[in-house]
Amino acid sequence: MEGGVATNQRFPKIKIREIKDDYLKFELRETDASMANALRRVMIAEVPTIAIDLVEIEVNSSVLNDEFISHRLGLIPLTSDRAMGMRFSRDCDACDGDGQCEHCSVEFHLDVRCDQDQTLDVTSADLMSTDPSVLPVDVAAKSNSSAYDASENRGIIIVKLRRGQELRLRAIARKGIGKDHAKWSPAATVTFMYEPEIRINEEMMESLSIDEKRSWIESSPTKVFDIDPNTQQVVVTDPEAYTYDEEVIKKAEAMGKPGLVEIEAKEDSFIFTVESTGAIKASKLVVNAIEVLKQKLDAVRLSDDTVEADDQFGELGVHMRGG
């Protein structure tokens, strides 16, 4: 390479604030908004999970029609730790896409009939999986009760049956991504915000009376500032509660004190909040998103034949330019 290998690589920093199976809050620093946004977009739309995609109904005498039930089945989140290693059924060579293939699909069976006077709930717990690692997330959570209190968990209701009604079906779950259909999205919400930097002009602030300080603090719709009970000074209690509404800045101007506070968004610091549907752990979701983004970048590398074609053209170009 001409001029040496000067890289412009960055070394971002990460700090986790809170971590739970389905919730994660972390700080991302020393990179830019394009990287933060790419990660967010990939987490929502391109990290693969498993969801029911094909339903064959044998008997359905319930009040809901076949396609309504199929749609409801598709929306049930399934544990998808296997998804990264699975194949998309469209690229699977081992099968013809009928769902019997272990590389690309998981089969479910459901067979419920109501023989009592009380209405019977058909729930995600009635879905029988052929693969013990792929289960509806609420069923999986129940079996390892350490995750959360399962006593209230009745399962995800699919349909209700009255006496004599029956539902019998076969369903095939496949790997997919949220771009194809939102049922494959592992993310409930993924957001990031710029970290705010709040600077109070202490000198100007001291020129305010205690009542003025209070009314200025009250002007913020969220609780960002407070008064220190000992020193009677205005302090920033929670900078991240600030929603960039600029109400405090307008209030300061209205009080005839422009420049009382300066608030800036740090352009290289982001606070991420990731909530998972339970299909994969929130921490795994981030790792998978990084992996998927890497794969995407690898796919957009130039192929060798393009480079060769350009080299020939390049020489020609030099001749044409009289080189």
Partner 1 sequence: MNAPDRYERFVVPEGTKKVSYERDTKIINAASFTIEREDHTVGNILRMQLHRDPNVLFAGYKLPHPLQYKIIVRIHTASQSSPMQAYNQAINDLDKELDHLKTVFEEEVLKHSRDY
Nearer to partner 1, 87 or 162 (CB): 87
Q: Find, among 180, 169, 176, 183, the residue nearest to 55 by Cα.
A: 169
The CB-of-38 to partner 1 minimum distance in angstroms stands at 5
Which helix or strand (DSSP H or E) is residue 286 part of?
helix 282-299
**Residues 6 or more apart in contact with residue 131 via CB below 8 angstroms:** 82, 106
- Region of 259 on the Ramachandran plot (φ > 0 left; ψ -120 to 50 alpha; else beta): left
Nearer to partner 1, 15 or 154 (CB): 15
The CB-of-16 to partner 1 minimum distance in angstroms stands at 5
The CB-of-283 to partner 1 minimum distance in angstroms stands at 5
Q: Does the CA dihedral 13-19-22-23 come out positive or negative?
A: negative
Nearer to partner 1, 21 or 226 (CB): 21
Residues in touch with partner 1 (CB under 8 A): 1-3, 6-16, 19, 26, 31-32, 34-35, 37-38, 41-42, 46, 90, 177, 179-181, 283, 286-287, 290-291, 293-294, 296-303, 306-307, 309-310, 313, 317, 321
Nearer to partner 1, 7 or 209 (CB): 7
The CB-of-249 to partner 1 minimum distance in angstroms stands at 29
Q: Find, among 129, 163, 158, the residue nearest to 69 by Cα.
A: 158
Three-class secondary structure of residue 171 per DSSP: strand
**Residues 6 or more apart in contact with residue 116 via CB below 8 angstroms:** 163
The CB-of-166 to partner 1 minimum distance in angstroms stands at 32
Nearer to partner 1, 149 or 302 (CB): 302
How many Å apart are CA 245 and CA 268, to the nearest integer? Answer: 20
